[in-house]
Structure 1
């Protein structure tokens, strides 16, 4: 008899199928194979004591500070530990409990969302002269040639932008933005390139977005996260997709000492509010994509925390986009010029994919396509 440890990131369903376990058994046992950890902040002391007992009664647990059982204080933080099966049971059981546990139960249930989306690679084309990576800037016929190459290299989506959003960048007016992207959009439409890949317009201006959506584009990539109601109206009217990105401040000021009490919770709260807004405007849930905004009003620690906790955002049931391509966070970890940040980019994006991202926005399509095809073989 021999033994081999199975690590938690291995697909246990695949192993059980290989063992010829019956389907109902696989469904039951797979829920016991993954441990869930939930950090619960500012919980009522009564809720903490109830949840502790309920967790223990089913084989889960709740880590609490000393003094909870004697009600030494009114509120506390806690760490809930359990399998998927435990969380399913608690999400039902706590619905009947007081002290805010009903709302906690609903939150726990949302984390069990198992929506799976296919991986998509989004190539970047900048129709301006001041984007942070010079090799992403293309105009006219050169832009069309690069788009065709990206599609050939494996891009599923091409993102076209006419305004730089790098830290410290200056905004331009709508007319200038349109003058930069219109020629490229018209050529894409003329050559029917939208039949070979999806096209996204990187803009927060309704006039620019509407022009693109009227010329074969399917996605509005809004770095302001749907702050403009007119953008919501245009996207809804055209039945298009919307990327809701989190950004603290604006490109000119966003990297001046950004602060968060808890960056993951604040970004999650933002998504919750903006997704509801989008739906209220008539945008279909399946057309909503969320982007935590790596490098947009975040320091290195914030960016790393968001990538490490990306699974937090799966509870919304939306596609998750991550774009860390050649960004300065790589330079802060390993000093390097923007031209030499491809290896760091691949490392960040592979981790993002592993943690739940399924749309990867990048400058180097071929290299990403190769890296992901190899990586998927390792985890499938």
Structure 2
């Protein structure tokens, strides 16, 4: 007899199939092997006591603070611990319960059977401006085309072209100036039909520039303002483009001036829901969500958003994370932008583990290699 302790992060479905478990059993056992930790804030104390008993009745549990049983406080924060199957059963139970538990049941259902994919796309960054925070991402003219070809050869699935810096405190430029920087590169990519070799993304929120790029083979609009401008939303809808909806508190000029949140996961999710609804009204069918690491967030909020990416999967969209060489790495391990590759890899692999399926990076080759190794380790 041989006994082996397996990692909690293995592909359980594949392991069960390898054992020869029948298809029905695979589904049941996979559910049991999926665990959920769900924090519920500001819950009515009566609801907490009911939820505690209902959780125990299905084999789950609810961590509650002292005084909950005696109802010494009117509202409490709690932590639900449940497997996939237990969560499904509990969600059904709460549909008939009082104190807001019927609403909670819908929230719990949204976390059931979250997608779990190992398909990861690498988005390579290229900047046509000379003030981006990482100088090695700056290219113009024929050098830009050469760099794009290099990134494609290294395994980039998407190329993200930008002409304006969005680093904290950056200086805004006119749409005309932005287009002047980008036009030669966009035209060269179009003439060489580069859009047939890779997906082309434009990092911009200027309608003038977006219209020019979408007319010439670009299919993704990476908008750091999250479709704040109706005209950007209209262009995405009319061209059938994919919109990357990013969250940012404030503007690049003001975003790091004491950003505050009641709950960063909740606040960002509310923003996403509002902008998804707006996008749908403008006929946008394909959307990607980006929580905006470093855009109006302190270190603790950046860490929370990366660690809990899976929270946003219930919105049914692909998740993009772009933390490449950002200053949050310096806050954790003092460095400059030239020394943050290792930190970038660590953050992005964690984000992928938590459900992100696109990473926006300066270092394509290294990320492609790291992701391939990570996939192998997942089994």
What interval of TM-score do these two structures reach, taking the shorter chain for normalisation? Answer: over 0.9
* Structure 1 residues 32-82: Cα deviation after superposition (integer angstroms, max 9, x where no partner): 112211110011122212212211111111112222233322211111111
Structure 2: stretches of 5+ with no match in the other structure: none
2:185 pairs with 1:184: yes
TM-score (norm 2): 0.97
Match of 1:62 in 2: 62
Match of 1:84 in 2: 84
Range 109-118 or range 326-335, more displaced: 109-118
2:294 pairs with 1:295: yes
Match of 2:144 in 1: 143
* Structure 1 residues 109-150: Cα deviation after superposition (integer angstroms, max 9, x where no partner): 111243355210000010101000011111111111111111
Q: 4+ runs of 1 displaced by more than 4 Å? A: none
Q: Tell me how far 1:259 sits from its aligned partner.
A: 2.0
Q: Tell me how far 1:93 sits from its aligned partner.
A: 2.0
Match of 1:370 in 2: 369
2:304 pairs with 1:316: no
Query: Is contact 2:124–2:151 with CA below 8 Å preserved after alignment?
Result: yes
Secondary structure in 2 matching 1:277: helix
5 Å-filtered alignment, 1:117-196, equals 117=117, 118-196=119-197
**Counterparts of 1:368 and 1:324 in 2: how far apart (Å)?**
12
2:77 pairs with 1:74: no
2:8 pairs with 1:5: no
Secondary structure in 1 matching 2:32: coil
Q: Tell me how far 1:228 sits from its aligned partner.
A: 1.2
Number of corresponding residues: 378
Match of 1:266 in 2: 267
Q: Tell me how far 1:236 sits from its aligned partner.
A: 0.9
Match of 1:222 in 2: 223
* Structure 1 residues 193-223: Cα deviation after superposition (integer angstroms, max 9, x where no partner): 0000000000111221121111111100000
Q: How much is the aligned-residue C-alpha RMSD, in angstroms?
A: 1.3
Query: Is contact 2:84–2:113 with CA below 8 Å preserved after alignment?
Result: no
TM-score (norm 1): 0.96
**Counterparts of 1:66 and 1:332 in 2: how far apart (Å)?**
35
Secondary structure in 2 matching 1:31: helix
**Counterparts of 2:98 and 2:237 in 1: how far apart (Å)?**
39
Match of 1:108 in 2: 108
**Counterparts of 1:104 and 1:276 in 2: how far apart (Å)?**
22
**Counterparts of 2:346 and 2:19 in 1: how far apart (Å)?**
33
**Counterparts of 2:68 and 2:337 in 1: how far apart (Å)?**
51
* Structure 1 residues 272-303: Cα deviation after superposition (integer angstroms, max 9, x where no partner): 2211221222211xx11000111111122211
Query: Is contact 1:206–1:231 with CA below 8 Å preserved after alignment?
Result: yes
Match of 1:231 in 2: 232
**Counterparts of 1:167 and 1:70 in 2: how far apart (Å)?**
49
Q: Tell me how far 1:165 sits from its aligned partner.
A: 0.2
Query: Is contact 1:34–1:83 with CA below 8 Å preserved after alignment?
Result: yes
Query: Is contact 1:60–1:86 with CA below 8 Å preserved after alignment?
Result: yes
Match of 2:93 in 1: 93
Structure 1: stretches of 5+ with no match in the other structure: none
Secondary structure in 2 matching 1:321: strand
